Every structure is written in C-alpha cells, then in structure tokens.
Structure 1
Amino acid sequence: MTVVDQWRPETAAGGFTRDDEAIEFYTRVNALVEPDMVVVDLGAGRGSRFDHGSAPFRKWFCNFHGRVRKVIGIDVDPVVMTHPHLDEARVIEPGGRLPLEDASVDIIICEWVIEHVEHPRQFAQEIHRVLKPGGWLCALTPNRLGYVGIGTTLVPETVKDRIMRLVWPERPREDAFPTFYRMNTLGSIRRAFDEKSWSHHGYVSNGTPKYHGGTAAGFAFVSLLQWLMPPAMRTNLLVFSRKRPGPIGTQARLQKACQDLSVAPAERQGEKV
C-alpha cells in the first residue's frame, strides 16, 4: 500500500483521490468536448497517462480517441509517434510553428506542458492561429506561486535531478524536460493571451500532495503546507482560455446584404424615407 492509498483510502473506489487534479481538469475538458471536434494534445509525449497501472476509469476519462472527430498529438519528442491513442502524431522543433492549418482546431489540451514553454508570446500567437473562433486552450500546470513552482524555480538545475529523485522517486526519468515557468500564474496567462483576443476562465487549486518522498511524514507535511498557503499560492494552475469569436466574415456579410435587398417593397411601405 502506498502512502497515497493510506491517506486517501477512497482511491480504492475507482482509482483516483478526492483532490485528483487530473480528474478535476479533465472533468471540465469533457464538459467542453463534442463529438464533431478536432482536439490537439500538445505535448502528448508517449501517452504516459495510459501507462500500465493507471486506473481504467482514468484511462477512459482522459482519452478522447474515438470520442471526437480527430485527436492530433504534437510533441518535440519523437516518442509521440508511439502514442497509442492518437489519430495523427506530429513532431515539431522546440518553439517551432505548429503543423496545423489556420482556424482548424476546436480544443488544445496541454497537460504539464506550458511550464516548459520558453517564449510565451510566440506560443500564444501559434495557439491563436490554429484555434477556431470560440475554440479553447485547456492547460494543467504548476502554479509558479505554489510550493512546487517556488521550489522548482529556486533549485539550481545542477542539483534538481538529485532532489527530484528524493522527493519523487517513482517519476520516470524520460519525462524530465527543462522548465521555464514563464506562463505559470493567472496574470502571466493574461499577459501572453491578451484579453482583446481571449476570455479567461482559469483558476488555481490544490491537488493531491506530491513531492513527499513516498513517506507518511512527507505527505502530512505537504498537506499542512497546502492548507496553510493563501489562495493565490495554491499548487496547480488550471487554464481555460477561449479565443474570442472574430468579426462577421465576408460571406456572412454578403448573405445578410442579399437578404436585406430581397425584402419585398410592400414590407418597406411603412418605413420613413
């Protein structure tokens, strides 16, 4: 029995905790998804959330393959080509242009990804380009003001891996990538995704304690730390930003003009000249 099983006995009923941030995040994503949508998993990787050991419910709940028109996985790591639950997989260069047509995507999902983004403005421009008007960016990432974000930004890269082995011994080494934390507060999201083009509906939230070293004392300490933190310093940042619908298109304007011209003269008799 793991320390999480001890402190969160409800895990036995379905395979997730009462404060599971992935279930919280994907609950809202599921509420947005519709069967005719194109969904992009940006930073899809090898599909680690579907690894052996994940609860069947979690595997289904976080998987949109076969539930929408198309799921496209994109990553800088070629391992994305082995992802088992994609309709299409594409590899890009770090900071490169997304291999997608303009206004071709309904929802973009970034799970533990945007902390690795080095150039927020460039990233935001590409997201805006490929999303349809009214489309959603949904991201789950550490809050830079939370204990994980503060610890990660303060610890030098030279010792970070050693510390991670102590506080998160089960973390797969292949899932370690450089972090920048340049879009990891509600304010930095609003700065990167300007409010003229986006409406923002994100928030910060505490999830199941992590980085506790697999010990009961560590879990208790992190639980207390999360409880003591003020609301702005909660652990996770959940981003739900919607691309604002654009101005009426040329074709729609022409259709409206034709409808106006087709109004019968009799209907205009009461109008003042």
Structure 2
Amino acid sequence: MNYRGRFYPESKFGNFTDVDGTIAFYTRVHSLLQPNDVVIDVGCGRAEYQDDQVKLRRDLRIFQGKVKTVIGIDVDPAAQTNPFMDEVRMIEGSNWPLEDASANFVVADFVMEHLPNPSEFFSEAFRVLKPGGHLALRTTNRWNYFTLAARLIPTNLHMKVLGKVQEKRLEEDVFPKHYRCNTVPALRNAIKQRGFDGIAYGYEAEPSYLSFSVIAYWFGVLHQRFAPNWLRPAIFVFARKP
C-alpha cells in the first residue's frame, strides 16, 4: 500500500518526500564538492541506486562527470561492475589502496555499520585526505527501533525478513553488520579523536521499512516527527581535515 502519499502528500509531486534521507545527505555532499576534486567512494558497491526510479535522487548519488575523478574502493569484487566510477580499487587488509593526501573528498554511505574496526576507517580517511578535505558518511543508528529489531533476528532469516520490508533488496547487497561505532556520541568522539573538525547528528526519513502495515507506518511517522536526535534511525557525519 502507498501509505507514503497519505502521510507525506508532497511525495505525489516528484515521488519523494521532504524528509528523504538520501536527498538530504547527498545535497549537502554536493554543496561541498568542487569541480577539480578527487572523490573516494568507500564501499562503492555495484551501484544498486542505478535502479532508483526517482531521477533526482539517482542523479545526486552520481559524482562522475561533476568532479575531476571518482575512485571507488571496496572489498566486494562486484564493485568492479560499478558504471559510475572512473576507477575501482580493491581493499586488501586494513590499508586503503590510496596514497597519502591524494583525495579531496571521502564519502561512505551505509558502510560504517559493516566495519569490525571503525578506528581504521577514520585513520585511513584522515591519511588519504588533503588538508581541507572533507569526509561525509551516513550510517545506521544502533539504537533505532529497526536496528534493535534486526539484531534479534537470526542471520539465516535476514533475507526473508528483508524481503518483507525491502522488496527490491537483492541478496548480493546484504552484508554482515557489527555496529561498532554507530551512535551519535561514538561518531562525534571518533572524528574528534582522529583530528577532524566536524559534526554528527541523527536524521530520520519517512518510515519506508514499515510499509507492510498502516498502523506500523503511522507509528513510524510519529517517531519520525517527534523522536529525539539520538534515537533517529540514520546518522549523518560531515567533517573536515584541518
């Protein structure tokens, strides 16, 4: 059922809501990008967003042609099929296959929750960024209701449950999660400890995961509108290397 149109009537014009998380995140990313930037897309994947039917949202996720170079890095060989990377390099071990101070921008979208050692991520991001370079990441809040429910589900049932709440989610796009640095305070502390100047804050889009029930969706809308910052399902981080 299309409960989104009932609770977010603006979505009838353009097929996206005023609280769309992807649009909010990538709009801010684009506001920081410069034409001569070298952008590192950490965990670039196979670009599942190319199937997004909302052109505005899909185009915001594509940096190719808008900056000097886009380099994707990933542990998953499927990343080599990503059509929006100028170059793809495979991560082997803890070090990224990039030179020191070689990039202007590092972006990681829903990657942090998969990392067993997040401190390595922040160290590598700081190392490869030039002074004045930016880091932008979006990740899952370990204290939001959906994450707490997912952690109670046995691993072998994850795809079955995801099929109910994310009908278009493919099995090859599901990876193990650790939630080692997935709260607002933890991320604020992580960027500060590594030497970044930045912010971390909660964000909540429409409750698309709850579209299986009007009652569940209604409660999700209430949560989206009134939940405190630290409980919101997504966390945005924007930081700059001094």
The two structures have a TM-score, normalised by structure 1, of 0.81
Structure 1: any 5+ residue segments left out of the alignment?
A: 245-273
Instruction: List aligned pairs for 1:18-57, cutoff 5 A.
Output: 18-51=18-51, 53-57=52-56
SS of residue matched to 2:84: coil
Contact 1:71/1:88, CA 8 A, preserved across alignment: yes
When Rg is computed on C-alpha atoms for both structures, the one with the higher figure is 1
Correspondence 1:1-273 to 2 at 5 A: 2-51=2-51, 53-93=52-92, 95-195=93-193, 197-244=195-242
Distance 2:195 2:13 in 1: 42
* Residue 98 (structure 1) shift: 0.8
User: What residue is the counterpart of 1:259 in the other structure?
Assistant: none
Letter in 1 for 2:153: V
In structure 1, give the amino acid aligned to 2:70.
Answer: V
Which amino acid in 2 is paired with 1:107? Answer: F
Q: Distance in 2 between matches of 1:5 and 1:129?
A: 45
- Does the 8 A contact of 2:7 with 2:221 survive in 1? no
Alignment CA distance shift 1:194-1:76 (3 Å): same
The 2-side partners of 1:115 and 1:196 are apart by 18
SS in structure 2 at match of 1:202: strand
Quote the sequence identity (%).
38
Aligned counterparts of 2:99 and 2:208: Cα–Cα separation in 1: 38
Counterpart of 2:87 in structure 1: which amino acid? E
Q: 1:41-76: per-residue Cα shift (whole Å, max 9, x none)? A: 11111111122x422222222211111000111111
- CA–CA distance in structure 1, aligned partners of residues 71 and 18 of structure 2: 30
Is the Cα–Cα contact under 8 Å of residues 114 and 141 in structure 1 kept in the other structure? yes
Structure 2 SS opposite 1:170: coil
What RMSD, in angstroms, separates the aligned Cα atoms of the two structures?
Answer: 2.0
CA–CA distance in 2 between the matches of 1:28 and 1:89? 24
Distance, in Å, in 2 between the alignment partners of 1:79 and 1:137 is 24
Q: In 1, Cα distance between the equivalents of 2:9 and 2:83?
A: 31
- Partner secondary structure for residue 35 of structure 1: coil
Deviations 1:81-134 (A, max 9, x none): 1111111111223x5311111011111111111111110112221111111112
Specify the SS of the correspondent of 2:209: coil
After superposition, the Cα gap between the structure-2 partners of 1:196 and 1:165, relative to the gap in structure 1 and judged at 3 Å, is: closer
For 2:53 and 2:213, locate their aligned partners in 1 and report how far apart those are by CA, in whole Å. 21
Partner residue, 1:250: none
Output the amino acid matched with 1:40: I
Q: Which residue identity does 1:22 align to in structure 2?
A: T
Q: How many residues align?
A: 242
Unaligned runs of 5+ in 2: none
Question: CA distance change for structure 1 residues 50 and 6 in 2, over 3 Å: closer, same or farther?
Answer: farther
